[in-house]
Amino acid sequence: MRSGLLQSGTCFPIFACLLVLQSGLYCCDAANTLDVTVASQSRSQVSQAPENSRLTRLRRQIADTYQAVLGKVSQRLSRLVMPCPGCTALRRWFGASPRDAGIQPVARRPAAAPSQDLIRYFARRDYARSRRRRYALHLPPQYGRGQELPLVMVLHGCRQDEQDIRQISGFDDIADQEGFVVVYPFVTSYAGLRTRNCWGWWQRHEIEAGAGEVEDLWQIINEVAEKYRIDRRRIHVTGLSSGAGMAAALLVAHADRIASGAVVAGVPYGETARAVNLWSFGGRFKPVDVVASAMQRALPPGARAMPLLVVHSDADETVNIRAAHNLRDSWGRCFGVDTVQPWLRTNGVTLGTPWVHSRYGGSAPNGLIETLFLEGKGHGWYGGNSGSYSYPEAPDVSRWIWDFFHRQPSLPVTTVGPSAAEPSSVAAAV
């Protein structure tokens, strides 16, 4: 009876519950009194079997009526009021079990899927100067839940490989928190004389669409997007040093397919090797107008303005901060953005490192061009983990970069291709 009363799992004024319970107690008392009367009569009038039968039927009718009334009251209460957690305690106090009260045991939430780290190989294609290249892929715990995720490509610098930039940037941790896929290509092999593992950002045949390293990088993006559930409207590219120079080249060559980009300690598009200061030689830059004209010639037809974040330190002795200024100004010249006066500028100090953040491109929520200039740090990645070419005691530029990427609008659906990968394709990784 008590479990029938409380199976609605609802809160109701206490006086109403007490009235119902009191009515039930009265009915029980009446039935018990009737039982005593029947027992007394059966002892004194054993021979009156017909009378005893009538009394027994009456007692059963009262009990059945009592159960029916309480069942209806319980149903009406469940329709009139909302459930509350306190009812569970009331049911237990009155002795009702979860099964009697209509409560289903709460299923234990399955543990979050772990992130996945894969090593894959890009096969050489049939266009000029394509090469077999290795790349690392990080899939966050959110992957495989049905939705397509953004993709961030991160390019290493000279004297590094894909695991070095992965370690110092800490993008895996940010991806696990924010829900995006990260791909880390390795230059793997190259022709000609270079500092070890540099991307060929100064070589024209490596930075123009349709051939060389810049096309291999774009085809790696395509390969990942075809095999995994990637939102092609939200593809972003960043890199360090020579990887930053190649990131700028990729942003120009495929401006109609990439949502935004960021360069850390990099150089303008199409610069010469003299832009890098090696053994106290170099640090010579092309005029901004020359760089902007080269960008305009390399852009695909109908390309939109490409959002760009430029990160650099004034104490970088390998790539002078003038490279960052020229990159900002040539980008503005190419896409019609005034970079003389920012519409928003903030500054601060993080872990002892002063910084200035500026936005250019009107008063929209997202600056088309943004800069983050630091003081006192050398050539490398800032604010990340310890490792090769890393300065951990600085603003976490990986966070800044993802915030910039996240604020940018997605590309129009008409400009991107479909992504039809299934989660099961993860098993194909080698």
d(CA 280, CA 320): 12
In a domain, 84, yes or no: yes
In the predicted structure, residue 50 carries a pLDDT above the cut 60: no
Number of domains in the chain: 2
Report pLDDT digits (tens) over 64-84.
665 555 555 554 544 444 444
Residue 354, pLDDT > 50, answer: yes
Q: Mean of the pLDDT values across residues 140-163?
A: 95
Q: Which domain holds residue 26?
A: 2-93
Q: What angle do CA 341, 395, 169 make, to 5 degrees?
A: 115
287 and 243, same domain (yes or no): yes
Report if residue 104 sits inside a domain. no
148: amino acid identity, one letter: E
Q: Which amino acid is at 366?
A: N
Q: What is the CATH number of the domain that holds 417?
A: 3.40.50.1820
Note whether residue 402 is domain-resident: yes
Region of residue 168 (left: phi > 0; alpha: psi -120 to 50; beta: else) = alpha
pLDDT in tens, 168-202: 999 999 999 999 999 999 999 999 889 999 999 99
Helix axes 49-80, 14-44, angle to 10 degrees: 170
**Mean pLDDT, the chain, integer:** 80
**Residue 107 is assigned to a structural domain of this protein:** no
Determine which of 41-55, 101-115, 175-189 has the lowest per-residue pLDDT on average.
41-55
Residues 8 and 68 reside in one and the same domain: yes
- Least Cα distance to 421 among 232, 179, 171 occurs for 232
Considering the domain architecture, whether residues 65 and 143 belong to the same structural domain is answered as no
d(CA 314, CA 319): 10
Answer yes or no: do 77 and 147 share one domain. Answer: no
Q: Verify that 245 and 136 share a domain, yes or no.
A: yes
User: Does one domain contain both 273 and 354?
Assistant: yes
Provide, rounded to the nearest whole percent, the portion of the chain with pLDDT above 70: 68
Same domain, 51 and 172: no
Can you tell me the distance from the alpha carbon of 102 to that of 429, in angstroms, rounded to the nearest whole number?
47
Q: Answer yes or no: do 128 and 43 share one domain.
A: no
Report yes or no on 376 lying in a domain. Answer: yes
The answer to whether 194 and 200 are in contact (CB under 8 A) is yes
pLDDT in tens, 269-314: 999 999 998 766 667 999 999 999 999 999 999 888 999 999 999 9
Would 430 be classed as within a structural domain? no
Looking at per-residue pLDDT, the higher value among 422 and 192 belongs to 192
Cβ-based neighbour number of residue 297 at 10 Å: 10
Question: In angstroms, rounded to a whole number, what is the distance separating the alpha carbons of residues 85 and 79?
Answer: 17
Calculate mean pLDDT across residues 353-366. 83
pLDDT attached to residue 367: 76
Q: Rounded to an integer, what distance in angstroms lies between the CA atom of residue 225 and that of residue 221? A: 6
Q: How far is CA 157 from CA 13, 213, 264, 267, 310, in A?
A: 70, 14, 10, 12, 16
* 51 vs 152 pLDDT, higher one: 152
Residue 102 lies in a domain: no
Note the pLDDT tens digit of each residue in 202-257: 999 999 999 999 999 999 999 999 999 999 999 999 999 999 999 999 999 999 99
Residue 397 vs residue 86, higher pLDDT: 397
Determine which of 193-197, 329-333, 392-396 has the lowest per-residue pLDDT on average: 193-197
Q: Do 125 and 45 fall into the same domain?
A: no
Asked if 52 and 182 sit in the same domain, the reply is no
> For residue 64, how many other CB atoms are within 10 A of its CB?
10
Query: Contact 189/231 with Cβ under 8 angstroms?
Result: no
Segment 371-400 shows an average pLDDT of 97
Q: Are residues 82 and 133 in the same domain?
A: no
Note whether residue 238 is domain-resident.
Answer: yes
If asked whether residues 88 and 230 sit together in one domain, one would say no
- Give the pLDDT score at 241: 98
